[in-house]
Structure 1
Amino acid sequence: MKSIFSVSAIIIVLVFGGLSASAQNPDFPWPEGKKMAISLSFDDARGSNPDPGATLLNEYGVKATFYVVPASMESDIEGWKMVVETGHEIGNHSLYHPCSGNFAWSRDRALEDYTIARMRKELSDTNDEVERLLGVRPEVFAYPCGLSFVGKGEETQSYVPLISEMFLSGRGWLDEAPVDPYYADMAQLTGMKMDNMSFEEILPIIEAASENRQWLVLAGHENGTEGNQTTYLSMLRKLSEYANDPANGIWIAPVGTVAKYVKEKRTAMEGNLNIPGISKPAANGNIYLTSEKGRGIGPDIQYMPEWNAFGWFMAKDRVEWDMNLPKKGSYEVWMEWSVSDEEAGKPFLLTSGDQTIKGVIKPSGSWETFQKIKIGELTLDEDFNRIVVASGQEFDKGALMDLKALTLVPAKK
């Protein structure tokens, strides 16, 4: 329970669902003190993208990402060369735009008939063709129709791992929330619709993303004044003016530019972020349940990145860890914690399913001194398991402990 690290809860607003979840991390460090990032993106290489689309954006110095199908560019190669020369990003949107055969127009290139190998070849061929036509090789990808599977029934497979391997990022379509820069899978960036929407309709989404320091990736198609799947020029003008106003704290840049920045920052901050996730056994068989991957739940508990531990652990707080195990096994449970002599002596409970380990938090020497001891054993099932650490009784003053980690060591037979 050391002096509290200055953190702000980052609220992930699911704009259409009204739900939220919190993470205890510092505000994401956008460049030059900006509050958020916006990326404009357009799919299919529509004829209106170079002009008036890119032409309008160039008036404001705004650069976008254009995810292209190479064959669609051939009627206006000079226009597309202008798009590249003026600093916009070209992304891969596949060779033939395969979608589900549920769409009659896609029946001859149905994703249900694809394999991972076929998709890999076509995406590579797309990169080659874009490079031949425009002299640039795409680093980013957008899923046609927002669909990320190949095959059908029992043979269905995700091709997200392929995109993760081949590209810096992959963008979806018709998603319901901006990108959380701390958590997002770069191969599954959320793309939110901007077609057929006014600036006034999009502004609340921008404001919510700004408040929560998120990355808003907007996705559209045509550029014009009317028509289906059209991002209105009037909206783009207002959005560009709004983004260019320093008072609004917006960094507007292509998807690839923002993705590289986010990856660099996440790498630099690795080990100091609380991003709950599934833990798996390490190569030595141990399972390391670090505070970075735990979920702190309760009114007072805080993740403290300077100590890589959960502090302000009060009676109504708890920490949860989730695991996936390849097989059932028994494990010794080692806990790493700290507590002052004055606060020591409170009971704790560790539970997993119907198993419970009870103990008392012994003195570690100080809040700054961490100790690690074996507290008991558990038998964990194959596949999903959850471990919960909580107080063993109610108390009004002081704190339970600062909890750094659990280590599960395979029990000797």
Structure 2
Amino acid sequence: MGETHISRRTLFAAMAGLAGAGSAAAQPQGWPDGARGAVSLTYDDGLNSQLDNAVPELKRLGLKATFFLTEDNAHWRLSDWEALARDGNEVANHTMSHPCALSGYSTTRFAAAEVHRMEGYLDAHFGSDRERTFAYPCGYLGLGHGRRHARYARYRRVLERDGVVAARTTAGGPNRPEMAAADPLHLHAFEPTYEGDTVAPALRYLTETVARGGWAILVFHEVAPQWLHEGDVSVATHNRILEHIAALDVWCAPMGQVFGYVAHRWGRAA
């Protein structure tokens, strides 16, 4: 029997509804400068449109973000990505070639050809002293054959062995910081314009984040003049979302930076 498909918006709406009733009691304390939550802006695939259209708005608003690069795309404008990192943004691992269907990969092949090789590329061009963070290509969490749990465990072992400290999915409600600290290779994230070019899903997600004192990780891909298909965001909608974040009482910082704070503040040794 095939798996039932549930849209990303439907899934988030259900999760937000279940969480909403206890939001006030659940709100943790401890974000920097008394902020009511945290937000990380993440951009996948190392696309030229991110450099051309997203980065100027980030600079205008004084926001820093995480860019999950693939070597296949990033090498075309490597000097621009290097300048972006020098300006305080995070660059991180999205594999060498962005494979989605991983049933044909052995653990050894995937680790060597996609994860470890990309870490070496990032080390060479962006320094080896950075936190190693990762975004699952296509949001797929399984590697090789077998039952879902076994495929997921296999993927996690690859990341752990390569020193990845935090990994981002593409689904789930705002992260509870204590849960993010406990399970850092399964950070929730939300693609607010995946199914349409509107700000409303992002605003609802951010409202829930602030209400619960959580950590929102937003995901963007193409930042284009117009929304054409799933995964895009228009420049106008992207900029409206960023302006809304800039006006909120939240700490907006790259994913690795926020995770480092979360691990220190809410981790087991805290």
The TM-score bracket by the shorter chain reads 0.7 to 0.9
Aligned pair 1:99/2:100, yes or no?
yes
Q: What is aligned with 1:81?
A: 82
Alignment partner, residue 90 of structure 1 = 91
Q: Which amino acid aligns with 1:242?
A: H
Match of 1:16 among 14, 21, 42: 14
TM-superposed deviation, 1:33: 0.7
The question of 1:182 aligning with 2:206 is answered: no
Pairwise CA distance, 1:252: 0.7
> Distance in 2 between the 1:215 and 1:164 partners?
23
**8 Å CA contact 1:37, 1:252 repeated in 2:** yes
1:243, distance to aligned residue in structure 2 (A) = 2.5
Shift, 1:44, TM fit:
0.9
Correspondence for 2:122 among 122, 130, 138 = 130
One-letter amino acid of the counterpart of residue 265, structure 1: R
In the other structure, the counterpart of 1:327 is none
Letter of the structure 2 residue corresponding to residue 86 of structure 1:
D
**Structure 1 SS opposite 2:179:** coil
2:13 is paired with a residue whose SS is coil
Q: Tell me which protein shows more helix as a share of its residues.
A: 2
TM-score with structure 1 length normalisation?
A: 0.55
How big is the shift at 1:26? 6.8
**2:242 alignment partner, SS class:** helix
- Aligned-pair Cα RMSD in Å: 2.5
* Aligned counterparts, 1:12-411, within 5 A: 15-17=13-15, 18-20=17-19, 27-100=28-101, 111-121=102-112, 122-135=114-127, 139-153=132-146, 157-158=151-152, 159-165=155-161, 166-173=163-170, 175-184=171-180, 185-195=183-193, 196-226=196-226, 227-228=228-229, 229-245=231-247, 248-267=248-267, 270=270
Relative distance call for 1:34 and 1:240 in structure 2 (3 A) is same
> Match of 2:32, as an amino acid?
P
Partners of 1:79 and 1:176 lie apart in 2 by: 32
SS of equivalent residue, structure 1 residue 149: coil
Q: Which has the higher strand share?
A: 1
User: Unpaired runs of 5+ in structure 1?
Assistant: 1-12, 101-110, 271-413
Length, aligned pairs only: 245
Does structure 2 retain, via aligned residues, the 8 Å contact 1:15–1:176? no
Tell me which amino acid in the other structure corresponds to 1:15: A
Report the CA distance between 1:253 and its aligned residue. Answer: 0.7
1:72 counterpart letter in structure 2: N
Higher-Rg structure is: 1
Code of the residue aligned with 2:179 in structure 1: it is Y
Pick closer, same or farther for the CA change 1:124–1:269 going to 2, 3 Å: closer
* Bigger mean CA deviation after superposition, 123-132 or 149-158: 149-158
* Structure-1 residue corresponding to 2:5: none
Runs of 5+ unmatched residues, structure 2? 1-10
Percent identical residues: 25
- Structure 1 pair 47/14, CA: closer, same or farther in 2 (3 Å)? closer
**Structure 1 residues 232 and 117: alpha-carbon distance in aligned structure 2, compared to 1, 3 A threshold:** same
One-letter amino acid matched to 2:258: V
CA distance in 1, matches of 2:158, 2:56: 34
Instruction: Name which structure has the greater RCO, CA cutoff 8 Å, separation 6+.
Output: 2
What's the CA shift for 1:115?
A: 2.2
1:152 Cα offset (Å): 1.7
Instruction: Using the TM superposition, give the Cα deviation of residue 241 of structure 1 relative to its aligned residue in structure 2, in angstroms.
Output: 2.6
